[in-house]
């Protein structure tokens, strides 16, 4: 290729890349801009290979193409595997790879340099490229939390960064005037610049990473441009210069938005790794005493605020990214807009962990770019908005940036969220942000709602709150027409499945709903639209998977005229295929398409994700129909489960009220002898540990418990025995059928966990059935049977079990066995708790902690299993805010490796100064008002002092038993790994047992405390 043509093509490609980057500044054109720049870059590589006649070198071109294919494969793999939340660290790594590529080119150029200019630019590109690589790796580590996200400042950090800069500058100058040995210079330059990259990146806080990434992006471009000079490639110089300058411009813009200099940020002065800065709360004085009195009389919920709001701002932050809550944010906005509220998303320039982080996440949730507003555009409007919903943001709206001189964020421009009439925080907790400065808005008395915890959960609750308020505003006459009530009274029901059923994998629940309706005598038909789903016969395949008979599947043409006769139509994830706009709205994409006559049904129950338009983009008027429509929005699996529960609960309410006294929990509470019959359903639900807990609870109240095993229960010989042994059930408690079958008539209750055919009385009575003549367990002889089975379907033999429909002496706890057993356990314990005198309420765990002046926290392996360290930290922070002194006390062998607890608590940002070894504070337990034990047992078991001959006798333990009150957040009261019972569990006074998953019990304790 002629040099002139190469220069002309280089100019065109450079302008194309520059134009592509400019397109990326607008959301609507960003994707096309990205594609255009990528295509131009690929052409630039091809042009370079042609210009340098590489294609004539067969070995070289094979190596180059092989490397390009490997790189393309890695890139495509990352594009599919990397989740959106991991995008910041991926961008950081890609910057590092760009720097590394430039460093390789520069290193090669140093060995072939002829002039001092080539040698000097080669060294300079090598230095910047290596610095970019190591700096990007550290940045990626901080963003992925593999490295502490807080600023890490070494001793003599300034000196350690200044010396490499001076030495590298000297090397560059020396290369210009002296002929130095290339290999030595190359190795020294890589070592010094690599260290410098680590040194400057490690001291930047996690919240300042967007600016750091932008700078590293700029440096990767600069390195490429200088490497282009070293090898005399004008195209590489131009493209590298474009990347470098655009990155530098973005860095300057972001620094301006932070009202801080780049040097200050790189020195880690905008984030604090040490103690938090306390800021006095700011309270609006404009609220009159009359308003205060009204608020005291009736607290207004966040849902009420949003329901009545005319203008709402949504402020997303990094917490939204962590919780992957962008879709729920969009749902909340859609719900508010449907009620006529104006909604705006307000984005702070440095929100998130990379430039444009929030924009990308919200675009993923199909938020229109017109709804995204920059800080400067709407900051003055906050005082006009009725409510501001903050989702995982802190520093970018902290008023301390205006008022608290001397804090790291003082002077930083922030969103005027504090000017809003009401602020709703959907933040994880009220801890200080990355800058380490407390946010006074958290403690503001008026105009603030704190919905703390995982943003996905709090937003879901908030959505439910808003929708339930809306539902309550409908006339009370609608109560009689709830979805469950409609189905309960229906004689004919049509079920219309769609792609949403496939997404939610809800076909089995659809089948359960149909079975439940058929059992009450309802005629059920599944109606399939020809194009429902994503392939021909999609719905048929899914429903066949759930064992729906093909005779129940009807094509549209066969039953479309019958919709007007059906009492109810349940729509599961379908939209366009039943949208009446296809008949009425000329000019729309679906006009003229044959649709299901769902709108002719007497009542329509939508189990759809939301009320958005379908794939054709046409709104469905059925969603806003005033009468004859029930909207059960959300994940179809959840809404169907709720609908099933609704239908069954209505059925249950129709039974005589006398049955109330005979709940499953009450039966077990009064039982003297209980048999437990496990089956394959226990294996599927992995519920053996809960079965063991139930048995332990019953034995503690003096009940005799036996596990009765049928020879063919499960899927292999001894299946049940193995599972129960895994849950530490003694073999002496396992009984074969022949040994105890005659005793069923004597037992007060039999708990069946996922078993069916092995106890079906049809095996004795129903001649001609597959199980007739098979020996079965005499469960039907029990005084009361409690079924913890998934449903009342026939077992594998296909024979209905008459016990399910027995009028008396049967309790059906249907659903996942793990859940029903947990509910049964809670029921038994609650009945036990009700029998205690009411005065015990005053000594609840939360009350003890509320009054405590000194609290010790003793973590154990159970905390690790439940991953509850963040909740432990939240509990400690809550206590410290009320003035309580808190210490974490660590036993030397707590956990499964040395320092296990220390590592977990450090991950939750617990200061090392708060971690105390056993020997340092063991004598202080007698002074502490409460000790919270989180998943620890043997390390505090007093048997180690008193019970000679036990495995732990003589082992030094934490003096937890000396505390005034002990709060156990343990899974259960079983013996620990040493197999020695802990007498503290049965101590009458000064002990609170909060049993179950530590994460759940701690959350409940936190909620009660707050």
Please give the backbone phi and psi of residue 92, each rounded to the nearest 5 degrees, phi first: -60, -45
Length of the chain (residues): 1010
Nearest to 670 by CA among 754, 816, 786: 786
Who contacts 908 (Cβ-Cβ below 8 Å, separation ≥6)? 869, 870, 872, 873
Catalytic pick among 334, 377, 395, 599: 395
- Per-residue burial over 724-745, b = 16 or more CB atoms within 10 Å of its CB, e = otherwise: beebebeeeebeebeebbebbe
Instruction: For residues 441 and 444, give the distance between their C-alpha atoms in angstroms, rounded to a whole number.
Output: 5
Instruction: For residues 810 and 1002, give the distance between their C-alpha atoms in angstroms, rounded to a whole number.
Output: 35
SS3 401: helix
Asked about 395 being catalytic, the answer comes back as yes
3-state helix vs strand vs coil in the chain, percent to 5: 55, 10, 35
Indicate the burial class of 554 (C-beta count within 10 angstroms; 0-12, 13-18, 19 or more): middle
Instruction: For residues 575 and 582, give the distance between their C-alpha atoms in angstroms, rounded to a whole number.
Output: 11
SS3 859: strand
Please give the backbone phi and psi of residue 401, each rounded to the nearest 5 degrees, phi first: -65, -20
Contact (CB, 8 A) for 60 and 103: no
**DSSP state at residue 271:** S
Place of tokens 């940045």: 139
Q: At what angle do helices 58-81 and 27-51 cross, to 10 degrees?
A: 160
SS3 935: coil
SS3 string, 560-619, reads HHHHHHCCEEEEECCCHHHCCHHHHCCCCCCCCCCCCCHHHCCCEEECCCCCCCCCCCCC
Tokens of 601: 């049904």
**DSSP state at residue 395:** G
Long-range contacts of 467-473 (CB under 8 A, 24+ apart): 467/335, 467/633, 468/303, 469/303, 469/304, 469/307, 470/307, 470/339
**Residues classed as catalytic:** 395
């Amino acid at each position: 290729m002629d040099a002139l043509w190469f220069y002309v093509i280089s100019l065109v490609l450079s302008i194309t890349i520059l134009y592509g980057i400019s397109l990326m500044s607008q959301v609507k054109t960003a994707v096309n801009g990205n594609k255009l720049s990528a295509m131009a870059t690929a052409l630039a590589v091809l042009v370079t290979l042609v210009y340098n006649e590489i294609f004539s070198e067969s070995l070289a071109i094979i190596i180059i193409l092989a490397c390009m294919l490997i790189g393309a494969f890695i890139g495509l793999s990352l594009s599919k595997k990397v989740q959106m939340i991991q995008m910041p660290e991926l961008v950081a790594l890609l910057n590092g790879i760009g720097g590394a590529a430039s460093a390789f080119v520069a290193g090669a150029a140093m060995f072939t340099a002829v002039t001092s200019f080539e040698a000097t630019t080669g060294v300079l590109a090598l230095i910047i490229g290596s610095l970019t690589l190591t700096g990007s790796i550290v940045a990626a580590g901080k963003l992925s939390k593999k490295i502490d996200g807080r600023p890490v400042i070494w001793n003599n950090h300034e000196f350690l960064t200044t010396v490499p800069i001076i030495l590298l500058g000297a090397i560059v100058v020396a290369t210009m005037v002296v002929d130095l040995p290339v290999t030595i210079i190359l190795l020294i330059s890589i070592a010094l610049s690599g260290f410098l990259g680590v040194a400057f990146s490690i001291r930047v806080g996690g919240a300042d990473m967007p600016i750091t990434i932008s700078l590293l992006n700029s440096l990767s471009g600069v390195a490429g441009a200088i490497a282009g000079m070293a090898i005399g490639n004008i195209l590489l110089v131009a493209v590298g210069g474009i990347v470098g300058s655009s990155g530098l411009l973005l860095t300057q813009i972001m620094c301006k938005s932070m009202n801080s200099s780049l040097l200050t940020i790189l020195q880690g002065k905008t984030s604090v790794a040490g103690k938090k800065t306390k800021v006095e709360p700011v309270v609006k004085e404009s609220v009159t005493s009359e308003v205060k009195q009204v608020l005291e009389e009736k607290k207004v919920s966040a849902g009420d605020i949003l329901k009545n709001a005319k203008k709402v701002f949504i402020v997303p932050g990094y917490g939204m990214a962590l919780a992957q809550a962008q879709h729920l944010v969009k749902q909340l906005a859609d719900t508010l807009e449907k009620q006529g509220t104006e909604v705006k998303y307000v984005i702070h320039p440095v929100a998130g962990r990379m430039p444009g982080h929030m924009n990308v996440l919200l675009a993923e949730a199909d938020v229109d770019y017109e709804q995204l507003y920059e800080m400067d555009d709407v900051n003055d409007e906050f005082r006009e908005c009725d409510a501001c919903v903050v989702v995982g943001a802190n520093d970018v709206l902290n008023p301390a940036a205006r008022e608290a001189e001397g804090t790291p964020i003082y002077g930083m421009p922030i969103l005027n969220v504090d000017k809003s009439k009401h602020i709703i925080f959907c933040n994880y907790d009220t801890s200080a942000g990355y800058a380490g400065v407390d946010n006074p808005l958290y403690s503001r008395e008026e105009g603030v709602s704190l919905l703390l915890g995982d943003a996905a959960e709090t937003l879901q609750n908030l959505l439910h709150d808003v929708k339930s308020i809306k539902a309550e505003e409908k006339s009370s006459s609608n109560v009689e027409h709830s979805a469950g009530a409609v189905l309960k009274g229906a004689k004919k029901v049509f079920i219309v499945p769609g792609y949403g059923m496939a997404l939610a994998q809800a076909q089995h629940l659809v089948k359960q709903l149909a079975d439940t309706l058929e059992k009450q005598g309802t005629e059920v038909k599944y109606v399939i639209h020809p194009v429902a789903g994503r392939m021909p016969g999609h719905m048929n395949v899914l429903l066949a998977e759930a064992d729906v008979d093909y005779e129940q599947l009807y094509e549209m043409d066969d039953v479309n005229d019958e919709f007007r006769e059906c009492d109810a139509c349940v729509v599961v994830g379908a939209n366009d295929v039943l949208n009446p706009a296809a008949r009425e709205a000329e000019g729309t994409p679906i006009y003229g398409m044959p649709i299901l006559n769902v709108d002719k049904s007497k009542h329509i129950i939508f189990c759809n994700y939301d009320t958005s338009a379908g794939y054709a983009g046409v709104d469905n008027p059925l969603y806003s129909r005033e009468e004859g429509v029930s909207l059960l929005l959300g994940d179809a699996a959840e809404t169907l489960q709720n609908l099933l529960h609704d239908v069954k609960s209505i059925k249950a309410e129709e039974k005589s009220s006398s049955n109330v006294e005979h709940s499953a929990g009450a039966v077990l509470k009064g039982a003297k002898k209980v048999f437990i019959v496990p089956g394959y359903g226990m294996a599927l639900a992995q519920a053996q540990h809960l079965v063991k807990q139930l048995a332990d609870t019953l034995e503690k109240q003096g009940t005799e418990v036996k596990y009765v095993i049928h020879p063919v229960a499960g899927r292999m010989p001894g299946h049940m025995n193995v599972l129960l042994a895994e849950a530490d059930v003694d073999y002496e408690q396992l009984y074969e059928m022949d040994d105890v079958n005659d005793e069923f008539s004597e037992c007060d209750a039999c708990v069946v966990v996922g078993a069916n055919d092995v106890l079906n009385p049809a095996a004795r009575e129903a001649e001609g059935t597959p199980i007739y003549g098979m020996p079965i367990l005499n469960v039907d002889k029990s005084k009361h049977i409690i079924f913890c089975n998934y449903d009342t379907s026939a077992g594998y033999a296909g024979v209905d079990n008459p016990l399910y429909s027995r009028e008396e002496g049967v309790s059906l706890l249907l659903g996942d066995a793990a859940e029903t057993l947990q509910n049964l356990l809670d029921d038994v314990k609650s009945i036990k708790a009700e029998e205690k005198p009411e005065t015990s309420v005053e000594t609840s765990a939360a009350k003890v902690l509320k009054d405590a002046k000194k609290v010790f926290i003793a973590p154990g392996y159970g905390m690790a299993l439940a991953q509850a360290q963040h909740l432990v930290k939240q509990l400690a922070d809550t206590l410290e805010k009320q003035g309580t002194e808190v210490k974490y006390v660590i036993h030397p062998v707590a956990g499964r490796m040395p320092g296990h607890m220390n590592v977990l608590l450090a991950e939750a940002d617990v200061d090392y100064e708060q971690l105390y070894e056993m020997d340092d504070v063991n004598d202080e337990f007698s002074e502490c008002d409460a000790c919270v034990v989180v998943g620890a047992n043997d390390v505090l078991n007093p048997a180690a002092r008193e019970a000679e001959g036990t495995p732990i006798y003589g082992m030094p333990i934490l003096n937890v038993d000396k505390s005034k009150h002990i709060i156990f957040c343990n899974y259960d009261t079983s013996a620990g790994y040493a197999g020695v019972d802990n007498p503290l569990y049965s101590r009458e006074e000064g002990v609170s047992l909060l049993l179950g998953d530590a994460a759940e019990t701690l959350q409940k304790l936190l909620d009660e405390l707050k």
